[in-house]
Amino acid sequence: MGKLSKRVAIVGAGMSQFGQLFPLKRNPDLWVDAWVNAVKSVDNGIAPKDVDACYVGNYSSDLFNHQGHLGPQMANLVGLTPKPASRFEGACASSGIALRQAIIAVASGIHDVIAVAGVECMNQLPTSLVTDALATASDALFEYPAGATFPGLYATVASAHFHKYGTTSEDLMRIGIKNHENGAENPFAQMQRTIKQLMQSKLKKLEEQGKDLPNWNDEFDYLRSSSNPMIAYPLRLFDCSLVTDGAACVFVASEETARNFTDTPIWIAGTGQGSAALSIHDRDDLTGFIATREAARQAYEMSGYGPKDMQIAELHDCFTIAELVALEDLDFYEKGKAAQAIKEGETKRDGVRPINTSGGLKSKGHPVGATGAAQAVEIFKQMRGRAERNRQVKFDVERALTHNLGGSGATCVVTIYEK
């Protein structure tokens, strides 16, 4: 138990543009864009005939687009029908689960190559209905009637963390600032601007309107101002991820076939998945996520590596607090110690262990069901030294990790990659 029966690799990965793209782009358009970019990334080429199945991660096309049954729809668009095509759902961890299931299926020997898709087109609904659709990933029986929104549940976790460990809003702001700095270097990101740049354009706008100019010395002043409205205390607008349309595609291949596609496959060293009660009131610890701890435990055990071996990671920053908590749940830092490490710059692109070089969900965007696959896309690029613009880390990445969290932490998938 707890081992793959043979080695599995990623041989190609690509994503569509992320953004507020509806109606210019809908799920089929986004997915084909992602597929085309993933195909381009396969060094020796890949064709539909090489692919045995299509695993689609999607949270809620039913609510966002009034469309279910995405498996065959997506498979057909890239020439994969009549092969097996299925959809996997685990809220924001949907394509993390699809990736994991593809890894398991390939390791079992039943398939050699699987195309993993992540797709979500959220902007077909106005924000209020998006919020309502997302809320179905938390507990609809007891939390929702008590007024819980998605930001509200993460804010509640934040309140417990603040209380127990003295974490502050400024600690969270540093996470947003960093992720926007990374996203500014990602041509596929939804918000390719640093918070400083956003602050400067706000100032310019106010100046043009002839309004009194606020006295902002730095990004922190801007983030503390009414330009960054409270959504759910202590989380403000810039603590929240974006509402995004986007897709990602990852090709998973068996040990026997991987080298046909590339001389530099990225191997799966470990995979783990955990769960927790849907309602946060049914969990013992409100300052962290047990599902992450369980997924990480399995993935570390399978890989034989520990947290210290992970050189870069893409963490699920659906809210800034979630990145901070993940750093602790993954044992990158002791409980209550992540904030100080962030302050010292350890998680920046030039820090000791860069986190979310892609810009994360905060700046790259968060098309919920596509996020897990998109995290793997960034790791694939970074490990092969091919991240765009100035985003490539300055050292050779031998081992990396992705952390994909579903809902208010009731599902988590952790994947560990090696060269």
- Active site residue ranges: 92, 366
Return the closest-CA partner of residue 415 out of 138, 8, 85: 8
- Does 232 participate in binding another protein (rule CB under 8 A)? yes
Residues 6+ apart with CB under 8 A from 8: 103, 106, 107, 252, 253, 254, 255, 267, 268
CB of 140 to another protein, least distance (A): 11
Of 131 and 260, nearer to ligand COA (C-beta) is 131
Choose the contact partner of 282 out of ligand COA, another protein, none; CB within 5 to 8 A by kind.
another protein
- Does 56 participate in binding another protein (rule CB under 8 A)? no
Q: Which residue is nearest to ligand COA (CB)?
A: 127
- Does 276 participate in binding another protein (rule CB under 8 A)? no
Choose the contact partner of 281 out of ligand COA, another protein, none; CB within 5 to 8 A by kind.
another protein
Contact indicator for 190, 365 with CB cutoff of 8 Å:
yes
Of 241 and 402, nearer to ligand COA (C-beta) is 241
- Does 156 participate in binding another protein (rule CB under 8 A)? yes
CB of 15 to ligand COA, least distance (A): 18
Stretch that binds another protein, among 176-184, 276-284, 348-356, 407-415 (CB under 8 A): 276-284
CB of 158 to another protein, least distance (A): 8
Helical (H) or strand (E) element with 53: strand 53-57
Could you list the residues that contact ligand COA (CB under 6 A)? 92, 127, 131, 134, 150-151, 231, 237-238, 240-243, 318, 366, 368
Identify the sign of the CA torsion 110, 115, 116, 119. negative
Under rule CB under 8 A, how many of the chain's residues touch another protein? 35
Distance of CA 263 to the CA centre of its chain: 27
Q: What are phi and psi of 78, to 5 degrees?
A: -115, 15
Q: What are phi and psi of 340, to 5 degrees?
A: -65, -40
Choose the contact partner of 75 out of another protein, ligand COA, none; CB within 5 to 8 A by kind.
none
Residue 92 carries which DSSP code? B
Q: Segment 378-397, which members bind another protein (CB under 8 A)?
A: none
Out of 12, 19, 118, 151, the residue judged to bind another protein by CB under 8 A:
151
Out of 280, 324, 377, 405, the residue judged to bind another protein by CB under 8 A:
280
- Does 132 participate in binding another protein (rule CB under 8 A)? yes
In this structure, the number of other CB atoms found within 10 A of the CB of residue 128 comes to 8
Q: Segment 27-46, which members bind another protein (CB under 8 A)?
A: none
- Does 157 participate in binding another protein (rule CB under 8 A)? yes
Compute the distance between CA of residue 417 and CA of residue 404 in angstroms, rounded to an integer. 14
Contact indicator for 48, 83 with CB cutoff of 8 Å:
no
| Three-state SS sequence of 156-197 | HHHHHHHHHHCCCHHHHHHHHHHHHHHHCCCCCCCCCCCHHH
Interface contacts to another protein, rule CB under 8 A:
128, 131-132, 135, 139, 141-149, 151-152, 155-160, 163, 229-235, 279-282, 286
